[in-house]
Amino acid sequence: MLREYLRRQGVTLDVALSGGKGLEQFQKETYSLVLLDVMLPGRNGFEVLRELRQTSRVDVIMLTARGEDVDRIIGLEMGADDYLPKPFNPRELVARIRAVQRRKEKKGPETRLQANGITLDNAERSVRWRGRDIILTTVEFEVLKRLLESAGQVVSREDLVRSAMGKRLQPFDRSLDMHISRLRKKLEGAGADSCIKTVRSTGYQLAILSSSDLTGIRGD
């Protein structure tokens, strides 16, 4: 039913009914987004997401059982871009798909941001630390970009949620914190000191290690 609804909305898609089949299909084609159910036969959604994130920055929206907050938290920590609890209105799913894709399309001018040895290339949609590639999700990329744009300054939670996730900050919504936590782990896993500081009750700050290690936006 969901497949037919999405097709009527102009979405071109393939369907795999198990985690293993989904991974096989992903290797054969190029996809801009993956809808990933947690409850899958064989490899579950978390296992599939873990394997995807080893090689790909493809956008991932996870579908989770209603009331299972732990599923959503784990999914975000592992690199999902968004989540939707079941049951859900198919119109909301389409809206979320389009919101995720709009974030990816808003590349802007060809610019590069650098700080603390981290280089973010907005044109290539790539992040490197001293030449080493770091694979980020779309939300993680947008969060890092916003922090780099305001390096040394505090960026409010509201600002980060709006610019990186395309929505308004809701009370008790901890999804931003999950994305920040995952971003820190990826940067530190590559050897970088992320220097992403939590400013209590306000937001986050990318602290500058050295003033000589900061390069602003450079347009081509």
> How far from each other are the two terminal CA atoms of the chain, in whole angstroms?
47
Residue 19 scores a pLDDT above 90: yes
The domain limits of the chain are 2-105, 112-215
What pLDDT, on the 0 to 100 scale, is given for residue 94?
Answer: 92
Confidence of residue 116 (pLDDT cuts 50, 70, 90): confident
Residue 212 scores a pLDDT above 70: no
Residue 218 scores a pLDDT above 50: no
Least confident of 21-35, 53-67, 102-116, 124-138: 102-116
Q: Which of 148, 100, 101, 99 is nearest to 122 (CA)?
A: 148
**Residue recorded with tokens 């209105």:** 89
How far from 94 is each of 84, 109, 161, 206, CA to CA, in Å? 11, 28, 20, 33
What is the dotted CATH code of the domain comprising 112-215? 1.10.10.10
What pLDDT, on the 0 to 100 scale, is given for residue 220?
Answer: 37
Residue 111 scores a pLDDT above 90: no
Confidence of residue 204 (pLDDT cuts 50, 70, 90): very high
pLDDT, tens only, 131-162: 788 989 888 999 999 999 988 889 999 999 98
- Percentage of the chain beyond pLDDT 70 is 90
- The pLDDT of 65-78, averaged and rounded, is 76
Residue 213 scores a pLDDT above 70: no
Least confident of 21-30, 77-86, 165-174, 204-213: 204-213
φ, ψ at 146 (rounded to 5°): -65, -40
What pLDDT, on the 0 to 100 scale, is given for residue 37?
Answer: 92
Q: Which CATH superfamily is domain 2-105 in?
A: Response regulator (3.40.50.2300)
What pLDDT, on the 0 to 100 scale, is given for residue 215?
Answer: 46
Residue 106 scores a pLDDT above 80: no
Lay out the sheet containing 126-129: strands in order across.
132-133, 126-129, 118-121, 112-115, 214-215
Considering the chain, what is the average pLDDT of its residues? 84
The sign of the CA dihedral 174, 177, 183, 184 is: negative
Answer with the residue of higher pLDDT: 171 or 211.
171
Buried b (16+ CB within 10 A) or exposed e, 51-89: ebbeeebbbbbbbbeeeeeebbbbbbebbbbbbbeeeee
- Percentage of the chain beyond pLDDT 90 is 34
